[in-house]
Copies of this chain bind each other. A is one copy, B any other.
């Protein structure tokens, strides 16, 4: 079994999900006789988000890079970042990482390729929808990524920032999100939707969404389970 090294804390809530799910799923997969070895370097969320906000990407790369170095020195066989946003510096970090470095966007894009999707929508914060750190991996895999129109992007962002981040799912907001997805399906022809923010699965899932959902954290965790337990 390979040791998993995680950069966590950005934020702590999703780190808890990774830790709990990796332990439970790997132990179950091994018939209840083996929890994995996991090392977590949990960052100061405020410091990390501040560096993202100021676009101080060199400093962010140094901050995360030093922690990845700790994970490698401690014997981690697989490295991963537990937050989509931190992938804004994934390519800058990559040259210094000597172990398999498992990207959330790449794992999600490879999953979408397997599912045969050619054109997908992307929901997330304005930052996520307007930067290419998440969509880039899909494009590199030959998948077209559509975002909502400017006005709808603001609506999606607001529902995430002011409701979902606080665990609030309003019925009327959900309807609004679904109608934006429906419009993207009809006008842009999206075949699936990337849930590009950890909180979106609180509201959207395959049962209420007009197209299949790509839950990127779920896909990433599945990938880590598979890699940790493979020979």
Q: How far is the CB of A124 from chain B (nearest CB, A)?
A: 22
User: 1/0 contact trace for A6-21 toward B, CB 8 Å?
Assistant: 0001011001100110
Q: A45 to B16, alpha carbons, bound, how many Å? A: 18
User: 1/0 contact trace for A70-83 toward B, CB 8 Å?
Assistant: 10011100000000
Q: A75 to B71, alpha carbons, bound, how many Å? A: 12
Q: Which residue of B lies closest to A9 (CB)?
A: B35
Q: Do A23 and B12 contact each other (CB < 8 Å), given the known contacts A40-B38, A41-B39, A70-B75?
A: yes
Interface residues of chain A: helix, strand, loop or mixed (majority)? mixed
Q: A75 to B66, alpha carbons, bound, how many Å? A: 10
Asked if A42 and B40 make an inter-chain contact with CB atoms under 8 angstroms apart, the answer reads: yes
Q: How far is the CB of A50 from chain B (nearest CB, A)?
A: 10
Q: How far is the CB of A79 from chain B (nearest CB, A)?
A: 14
Chain A residues within 8 Å of B, Cβ to Cβ: 1, 9, 11-12, 15-16, 19-20, 23-24, 33-47, 67, 70, 73-75
Q: Closest 6 A-B residue pairs measured CB to CB? A: A70-B74, A38-B42, A40-B40, A12-B23, A35-B45, A35-B44
